[in-house]
Amino acid sequence: MNVINKMGFSLTVLLLAAWSCLAEVSDTEERMTRSASASSLASIRSRRMIRGKQAPHVPWQAMVFLSDNVLDGGYAGGALISDHWVLTAGRNVFVRKRRQDIQGKDPVIPKVYLGILRRDEADMTKEVAVERIVLHPGFQNHSDWDNDLALIQLKKPVVMSNKVTPIPLPEAGQDLADAIGGLGVITGWGWGMFLTSATSLKHLTLPLANHSVCRGEYNRVALTPDVDDSMFCTGPARYEENVCFGDAGGALAVTDAATGDIYAAGILSYDKSCSRYPYAVYMKLSSYLPWIHSVIRGDTENSFSLRSNAMSKMFLQP
């Protein structure tokens, strides 16, 4: 094998590994990468660019860490929602992300870091120990993206500070349509143009997208979410900046126009939009409040019947 052929072979192997691990594309697309040229590699790199701005310190941002190596699960985002709980995408607590690889398997207990801005700050001083993971009971019941949420319980309560503070969940009556400017802010350490994650936290201000348009975009494309009423979407920013691989699990923060309250409207699930598709897809948290609250307050299978029995007896007493 001559030198030119060796160089071409090495490039092909590198490209195949990156595309299959990061994009999670179809088998057909994976086979196409075997014959990709150097110009194709440049094109794929451009599709992994979030092009966000350096973020200030975001006190609710969590890093959910399985490995430095994307082949071993990588790392992504999460949102601190109380002193004991971090909310993230369900797929972030599995090494392989597809439904066929996850069904029947237990989640991996991740490392969780709070109060960090740079990737190299993720050390033992910023790590919070994890007690357990609670996946949504309907996680991936039909596709890779259904009910893509996981609650991570921390072993000890977090000490609040100017660097670590939860973000509120939506309250009754808070509607995405009332967000100031129809905009939200997302933060993450997502993958950049050189197939590596950002060294510092980035942020993007993204417009909320028309639900029916987003649904129409993805419901006809294989290996993308079936967008339903428990999801919502954002479009790209002004100069086509968008979320990308590794940003999943981050909270889209919005400001209520009436009250000025800042809250987490959604958790990013489909972070594969990059420059390939226009829309990022989130789990709409207002749709999941009953489940979130039931987990946080420690409900068991018997909790509802126990409460009902107690109430019935009290009502029946003369």
Q: Which residues of 49-59 are buried (b: 16+ CB within 10 A; e: fewer)?
A: bbbbeebeebb
Per-position DSSP letters for 207-234, written without gaps between them: EBPPHHHHHHHHTTSTTS----TTEEEE
Residue 96 is predicted with a pLDDT of: 94
Statement: residue 20 has pLDDT above 50: no
Q: What number of residues does the chain have?
A: 318
Question: For the chain, what is the mean pLDDT?
Answer: 83
Statement: residue 311 has pLDDT above 90: no
pLDDT digits (tens, 9 = 90+) for 88-97: 999 999 999 9
Q: Are 154 and 130 in contact (CB under 8 A)?
A: yes
Kindly state the tokens that stand for 206. 């993204």
Q: Give the list of residues 6+ apart from residue 310 with CB closer than 8 angstroms, or none.
A: none
Residue 314 is predicted with a pLDDT of: 82
CA neighbor of 92 nearest in space, from 305, 293, 247, 198: 247
Statement: residue 196 has pLDDT above 80: no
Residue 13 is predicted with a pLDDT of: 35
Per-residue confidence band for 195, with pLDDT thresholds at 50, 70 and 90 = low
Residue 193 is predicted with a pLDDT of: 57
State the Cα torsion 269-22-224-78 to the nearest 10°: 0
Domain boundaries, the chain: 53-305
Statement: residue 315 has pLDDT above 90: no
Residue 192 is predicted with a pLDDT of: 61
Cβ atoms within 10 Å of 111's Cβ, excluding its own:
17
pLDDT digits (tens, 9 = 90+) for 269-302: 999 888 788 999 999 999 999 999 999 998 777 8
Name which residue leads in pLDDT, 308 or 34. Answer: 308
Percent of the chain at pLDDT above 70?
Answer: 82
Least confident range of 29-43, 68-82, 297-311: 29-43
Per-residue confidence band for 27, with pLDDT thresholds at 50, 70 and 90 = very low
Rounded to whole angstroms, how far apart are CA atoms 266 and 79? Answer: 10
SS3 of 77, please? strand
Statement: residue 56 has pLDDT above 70: yes
CA neighbor of 44 nearest in space, from 73, 11, 71: 11
Give the residue-averaged pLDDT of 236-257: 93
Per-residue confidence band for 219, with pLDDT thresholds at 50, 70 and 90 = confident
Give the residue-averaged pLDDT of 31-48: 34
Give the residue-averaged pLDDT of 37-60: 57
What pTM was estimated for this model as a whole? 0.82
Decide which of 2.40.10.10, 3.30.200.20, 3.30.950.10, 3.20.20.70 is the CATH code for 53-305: 2.40.10.10
